Structure 1
């Protein structure tokens, strides 16, 4: 392994020469081709090749062109992933900071996350991307943390019109609140053969969801503050989906019973 000072030097070289690495990641190039590709002087290219070669990121092949080594490709990917994650944090700090500490998103979820911030005056418009993903999926599983009147209608439409298999985990107080808002929709949703609504006494701090379908798996978190929507975080990368799956499973396993039509009748009969 490199010494600590060498680690620091390598990070600086990758940061300063990432344009060279990007150019070579497409195809091997001669020095004149690199000069044209990155629009740098010959002396700059010479220094870049020398420094990257010293750390085994670039080599000269049998054709006399320069190409990335495996080390070079991994170094470039790592650098790009780091920059993407930092950009995500910078662009979404006001949303991420509202995610409760119970949801440890970690690097896995924040890497390559898509960020949708709610707009003042029309906050629910930010849900359009999520709703599109739901309607294009075969399966939707979610933790319901906040009661919005549009939520049951969105899910019922997905179930009835797009034949989506639905599983929701929520707590009794939220289910009762949603039922009082829209009794007919909730009753239809509960009785539909594609729907499973599970009840847990465990507090659900935020609305997390997972889908699967022809567009592949997606995961997301609808972030709220003071009862309103702050934004939506969506990740369709394997590591992000797996992290969301881990969180969902913790609450799914704590769900002790399934909501039935009989339970709704009990709510109706209660004073």
Structure 2
């Protein structure tokens, strides 16, 4: 097992800004929102100035949220927000492993994955206040899950139906909207908003709601009247709670630069004599790694 070396160069990788910039350059317009790098307007879903979260207090920002009823859940599918965890910041690691590396302490990594696949670590769980040991494995990985603070289904019913696929993928992998948390509590939360679920640790509720406000403001999502009232009630007890800024996925080790290799599928990897392909190798794609072990196209 490899512990992240303290002296190894690291970089900050912001999935929302990197992915959003590519989408913006592709020419998305105001009523068909771009990726998470640019705010096209009140209905676009994404801010042009790099996510204006971080200014003022969360309570002040709450006034920016549009308030109206929940749209039908009809048509929702997780894959509409990208196929699982993807490598939007192109650092060679998928978003789940990036977030685990950010939020756990004392983490170790699977050998041969260039410090991408997290094997073990310790989580100071923000939702319960407990300390949880993480160990990757079929029966243990779900002890720690990566939560979408604003659930994808909730987003779908409050504005995301109008987004393009690039924006939804950026949203699902945006570190501002992701936290490693207690797995059972994440399952309990489901797609609940602030009106139906809050962390059991009351000391974390202000920060939790502030993050939800930041995400919704950043992406132009609305809130229901009950949700808005619940948010206001929590933040009234902490009126100076700051609005979280757009965050980078934690410090990650530099990965080997790409030599321009690109493979459409595992057949192309094998034809090029590059199989098995590892996380960080030129041409790597998370879709090559069906079992999540950091090694693709093994068969």
TM range (shorter): under 0.3
- Higher helix content, 1 or 2: 1
TM-score using structure 1 length: 0.23
Higher radius of gyration, 1 or 2:
1
Structure of higher RCO (CA pairs closer than 8 Å, 6+ residues apart): 2
TM-score using structure 2 length: 0.21
- Higher strand content, 1 or 2: 1
